[in-house]
């Protein structure tokens, strides 16, 4: 019986690949608030989590986000990851100073000083870009 050896295409496993057809940026958001359980008290429609998602949705399309988790750090805060559609470099997102999208979103979240059911103060929240995840735009 004759056999056929496949020679094309050759798919090399080097570098990341995405087959969803979109560039993504990933951000880790740390609420940096001690003694507040965001999962039970701030995860409702009027909670701080929703207010942060609204900040993100003002100019970005959210493709997905993770569950809340403890950050394991000194502030005993709560963290989640969010994935946004697009490729964002350094720009003047606020119209004044040049900064990364993560820094701009961090500023917007930190401006939420009395939000949610608590209310809670998010002035110490941090936002960092996710690196090394294969679907994230380089």
Q: What is the pLDDT of residues 116-126, one digit of tens each?
A: 888 999 999 99
* Gap between the Cα atoms of 132 and 72, Å rounded: 21
Integer CA distances (angstroms), 126 to 5, 18, 57, 64, 77, in order: 53, 28, 18, 19, 10
89 versus 35: which is more confidently predicted?
89
In the predicted model, what is the mean pLDDT of the chain?
Answer: 83
Strands 126-129 and 69-70 come out as unpaired
**Whole-structure pTM value:** 0.80
Residue 28 confidence class, pLDDT cut points 50, 70, 90: very high
* pLDDT classification of 12: cutoffs 50, 70, 90: low
Please give the pLDDT value at position 57: 93
Q: Where are the domains of the chain?
A: 24-129
Give the mean pLDDT of 127-136: 78
Report which of residues 3 and 103 the model is more confident about. Answer: 103
Q: What is the pLDDT of residues 41-96, one digit of tens each?
A: 888 888 999 999 999 999 899 998 998 888 776 656 789 999 999 888 889 988 88
- Please check the confidence at residue 9 and state whether its pLDDT lies above 80: no
Q: What is the CA radius of gyration of the chain?
A: 19
């Amino acid at each position: 019986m004759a056999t056929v050896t496949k020679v094309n295409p050759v798919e090399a496993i080097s570098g990341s690949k995405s087959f969803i057809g979109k560039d993504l940026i990933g951000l880790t958001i740390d609420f940096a608030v001690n003694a507040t359980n965001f999962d039970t008290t701030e995860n409702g429609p009027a909670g701080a989590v929703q207010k942060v998602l609204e900040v993100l949705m003002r100019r970005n399309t959210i493709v997905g986000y993770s569950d809340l988790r403890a950050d394991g750090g000194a502030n005993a805060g709560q963290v989640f990851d969010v994935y946004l559609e697009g490729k964002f470099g350094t720009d003047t997102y606020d119209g004044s100073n040049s900064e990364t999208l993560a820094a701009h979103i961090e500023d917007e979240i930190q401006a939420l000083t009395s939000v949610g059911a608590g209310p809670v103060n998010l002035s110490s929240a941090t936002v960092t870009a996710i690196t090394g995840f294969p679907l994230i735009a380089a």
